């Protein structure tokens, strides 16, 4: 659906349009030392890698490379990923060696083990992290887990912490809100959650500043100087330019452009930043970061999908495509937008670049949240704006409000016998959680990737009891498990057995970390252990509604800290053995491959944290989890002190001295 509408009336609204420079930084008068430090850090945070789209948000023709782009089948990993894995392995092995030495698995000499297998690194563990969908709740809870796993986070390598697990990981996958987290970190030069918290204050710009609703646009006090009228004009102009160039646009284009102001770039939303440009980043090329993967589902407008019939698409810096038998192919992401046919680009067709806008990829994975924009009338946007805005959004979103259009369909004429959309010029993708697989597990369980352990961070809003709504109950794992039993879609993937959702709640499997697939003898050698890390209240009730569109900085930081505590079990205060148990999960498949005896402490860990096959499918009582540690006192500015010493290290790491003023 092409959009050729005007918002000229918005620009003419008296008193609503500011003419301040969009690149200026608004400095606070008489800044405090904390504010001055944040402003000093801000330029480094907002540095960008490679805005390589030729014409901003609008895809445009470019010279084709000497070897014209083509599709490949899914029989193997791409040459680019295979080559990159060698570089990444050189980084993860020493990081894992250091991590395991700190986790102190009694009876296991990790240094000797790594020395013994140094010549055969395929014997050593392969780690992945998957972050679920769930809007800002999932993004922030997932950010807490990523911060806990990141050795760059202050104090994260101390006793009871898990810093270094991120550096030991090969893959970092995100879906919907989890995809916002993953995409935002990579499009900001692989910054850390710690750096964003330290830098982003009331004065330093709009990156992860959710105090202003996405309806209003970024705060005019920071890098972003646009008021609401200019903000909507910016969205309109960039999307209209794409439509005027002949490309289909949907509400997801508006959603993506709005997201970009919060997640990608604080001044203009980074319209030229593409997801494929990550492959050119020097640190990524050297293997110094995990490989990002985002997930979406294929779905035609108006169609209902379930986990068994939806084709799962993945986006990496090099490709988009699917290992599912339906499509079983991949296209170079950099050249999506070109008119491929039957797997090749005809000589009379131009190469197109810029379609894979970074925020559009994130928006595709989270298209369910397009309805945020359709709810503009319930927001605080000035009433003079609402009529004009609504007229635009309703016209573009009447029948395709959750569809992202990838037209021309790069898989046109590809695998005609199995691909249900091989004859369609348009490929329509939707939120990756619409098939209930709300954790991006499908890419991580592909046998070709040989992942040994997945840390699955689940922030789903599954429970509906009034007293305990918006907590996970294992639905995402159940959906992936059931899909793995469907031979027509499984493609050789095997997922560990999991119980039904009632059992998750009745046995408390959704209220603490739980491991699935611990007994390697029951599974294929390519079946990973899944360490399920469900959102639960440690220091903050983090079950905020999926469609909450504003967070104070205090709420944001509390969500992140709670996620940190979930991942570390309160830095080991809830269970002092938890760090060692994480190490046991990392090593389990490797020990099995090398015939190494499992240390006693790991047998105890597996007995404590592995699902033992017990089922209790009776209807559970209303779910209402209790706070595990002392609750944070959240103010609009930040977090007030709390009296949990062992869990206070992360609070100190983000600058708390009595009160955290961010």
DSSP annotation string for 320-364: EEE-STTT-EEEEGGGBTB--BTTB--TTS-EEE-TTBHHHHHHH
For residues 150, 156, 160 and 164, what is the CA-based torsion angle, rounded to 10 degrees?
A: 30
**Percent of the chain whose pLDDT exceeds 90:** 66
Structure confidence at residue 29 (pLDDT): 34
Residue from 378, 198, 386, 185 nearest 289 by CA: 185
| Residue 173 domain flag | yes
DSSP E strands: which ranges in 113-269? Answer: 127-131, 169-174
pLDDT bin (cut points 50, 70, 90) of residue 387 is low
Q: 281-340: per-residue pLDDT in tens?
A: 999 999 999 999 999 999 875 676 665 678 999 999 999 999 999 999 999 999 999 999
Structure confidence at residue 305 (pLDDT): 64
What is the Cα gyration radius of the chain? 24
Please answer whether residues 572 and 547 qualify as being in contact, where contact means their C-beta atoms are separated by less than 8 angstroms.
no
| Residue 1 domain flag | no
CA atoms within 13 A on the CB side of 538: 29
Distance, C-alpha 246 to centroid of its chain: 30
Distances (CA, A) of 589 to 127, 166, 450, 462, 484: 11, 19, 11, 31, 20
Buried/exposed code over 363-389 (b: 16+ C-beta within 10 A; e: otherwise): bbbbbbbbebbbebeebebeebbeebb
Range of the domain at 580: 8-57+67-661
State the CB neighbour count (10 A cutoff) for residue 50.
16
Q: 117-162: per-residue pLDDT in tens?
A: 999 989 999 999 999 999 999 999 999 999 999 999 999 999 999 9
Structure confidence at residue 205 (pLDDT): 59
| Residue 3 domain flag | no
Structure confidence at residue 211 (pLDDT): 87
CA atoms within 13 A on the CB side of 151: 15
Structure confidence at residue 440 (pLDDT): 98
What does the mean pLDDT of the chain come to? 84
Taking residues 94-107, report their average pLDDT.
96
Structure confidence at residue 32 (pLDDT): 43
| Residue 466 domain flag | yes
Q: 250-271: per-residue pLDDT in tens?
A: 888 988 998 999 998 657 888 9
Q: Which tokens sit at 376?
A: 């503009």
pLDDT bin (cut points 50, 70, 90) of residue 417 is very high
> How many domains is the chain built from?
1
Q: Cα separation of 19 and 412, whole Å?
A: 46
Which class for 497: exposed (0-12), middle (13-18), buried (19 or more C-beta within 10 A)? Answer: middle
Structure confidence at residue 250 (pLDDT): 85
Please answer whether residues 173 and 593 qualify as being in contact, where contact means their C-beta atoms are separated by less than 8 angstroms.
no
| Residue 62 domain flag | no
Is the model more confident about 51 or about 17? 51
| Sequence-separated (6 or more) residues with CB below 8 Å from residue 384 | 13, 16
- List phi, psi (to 5°) of 67: -105, 105
| Residue 323 domain flag | yes
Q: Cα separation of 270 and 263, whole Å?
A: 9
| Residue 160 domain flag | yes
pTM listed for this prediction: 0.88
- List phi, psi (to 5°) of 463: -75, 145
Structure confidence at residue 144 (pLDDT): 98
* Preceding amide of 408 cis, omega within 30: yes
* Partner residues linked to 531 by β-bridges: 455, 515
Give the CATH number for residue 319.
Answer: 3.40.1090.10
DSSP E strands: which ranges in 137-192? Answer: 169-174
| Residue 2 domain flag | no
Structure confidence at residue 375 (pLDDT): 60
pLDDT bin (cut points 50, 70, 90) of residue 372 is low
pLDDT bin (cut points 50, 70, 90) of residue 27 is very low
């Amino acid at each position: 659906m092409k959009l050729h509408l005007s918002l000229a009336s918005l620009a003419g609204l008296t008193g609503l349009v500011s003419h301040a420079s969009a690149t200026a930084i608004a400095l606070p008068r008489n800044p405090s030392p904390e504010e001055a430090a944040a402003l000093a850090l801000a330029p480094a945070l907002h540095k960008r890698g490679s805005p390589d789209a030729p014409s901003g948000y609008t895809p445009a023709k470019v010279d084709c490379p000497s070897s014209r782009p083509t599709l490949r089948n899914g029989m193997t990993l791409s040459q680019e990923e295979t080559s990159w894995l060698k570089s990444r392995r050189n980084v993860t092995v020493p990081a894992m060696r250091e991590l395991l030495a700190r986790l102190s698995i009694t009876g296991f000499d990790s240094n000797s083990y790594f020395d013994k297998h140094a010549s055969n690194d395929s014997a050593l563990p392969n780690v992945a992290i998957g972050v679920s969908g769930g809007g800002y709740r999932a993004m922030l809870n997932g950010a807490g887990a990523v911060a806990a796993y990141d050795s760059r986070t202050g104090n994260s390598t101390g006793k009871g912490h898990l810093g270094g697990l991120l550096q030991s990981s090969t893959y970092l996958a995100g879906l919907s809100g989890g995809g916002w987290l993953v995409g935002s970190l990579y499009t900001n030069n692989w910054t850390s959650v710690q750096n964003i918290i330290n830098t982003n204050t009331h004065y330093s710009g709009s990156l992860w500043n959710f105090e202003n609703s996405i309806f209003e646009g970024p705060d005019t006090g920071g890098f972003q100087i646009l008021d609401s009228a200019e903000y909507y004009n910016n969205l309109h102009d960039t999307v209209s330019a794409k439509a005027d160039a002949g490309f289909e646009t949907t509400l997801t284009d508006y959603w993506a452009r709005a997201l970009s102001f919060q997640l990608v770039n604080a001044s203009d939303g980074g319209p030229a930043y593409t997801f494929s440009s990550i492959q050119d980043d020097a640190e990524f090329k050297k293997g110094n970061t995990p490989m990002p993967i985002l997930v979406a589902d294929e779905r035609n407008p108006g169609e209902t999908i379930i986990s068994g019939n939806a084709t799962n698409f993945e986006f990496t810096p090099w490709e988009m495509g699917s290992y599912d038998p339906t499509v079983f192919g991949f296209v170079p992401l950099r050249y999506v937008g070109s008119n491929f046919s039957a797997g090749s680009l005809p000589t009379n067709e131009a190469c197109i670049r810029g379609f894979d806008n970074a925020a559009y990829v994130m928006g595709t994975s989270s298209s369910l949240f397009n309805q945020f924009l359709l709810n503009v009338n319930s927001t605080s946007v000035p009433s003079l704006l609402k009529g004009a805005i609504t007229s635009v959004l309703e016209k573009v979103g009447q029948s395709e409000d959750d569809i992202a259009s990838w037209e021309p369909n790069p898989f046109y004429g590809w695998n005609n016998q199995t691909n249900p959309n091989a004859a369609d010029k348009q490929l329509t993708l939707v939120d990756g959680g619409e098939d209930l697989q709300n954790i991006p597990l499908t890419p991580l369980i592909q046998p070709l990737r040989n992942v040994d352990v997945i840390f699955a961070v689940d922030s789903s809003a599954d429970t509906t009891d009034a007293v305990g709504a918006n907590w996970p109950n294992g639905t995402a794992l159940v959906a992936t498990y059931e899909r793995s039993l469907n031979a027509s879609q499984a493609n050789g993937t095997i997922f560990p057995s999991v119980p039904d959702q009632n059992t998750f709640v009745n046995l408390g499997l959704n209220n603490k970390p739980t491991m699935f697939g611990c007994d390697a003898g029951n599974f294929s050698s390519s079946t990973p252990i899944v360490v399920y890390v469900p959102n639960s209240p440690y220091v903050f009730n983090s079950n905020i509604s999926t469609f909450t569109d504003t967070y104070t900085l205090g709420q944001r930081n509390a969500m992140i800290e709670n996620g940190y505590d979930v991942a570390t079990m309160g830095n080991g205060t809830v269970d002092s053995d938890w760090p060692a148990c994480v190490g046991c999960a990392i090593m389990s498949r490797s020990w099995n491959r090398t015939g190494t005896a499992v240390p006693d402490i790991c047998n105890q860990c597996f007995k404590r944290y592995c699902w033992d096959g017990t089922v209790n499918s009776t209807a559970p009582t209303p779910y209402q989890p209790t706070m595990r540690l002392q609750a944070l006192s959240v103010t609009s500015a930040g977090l007030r002190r709390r009296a949990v010493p062992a869990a206070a290290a992360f609070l100190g790491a983000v600058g708390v001295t009595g009160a955290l003023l961010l």
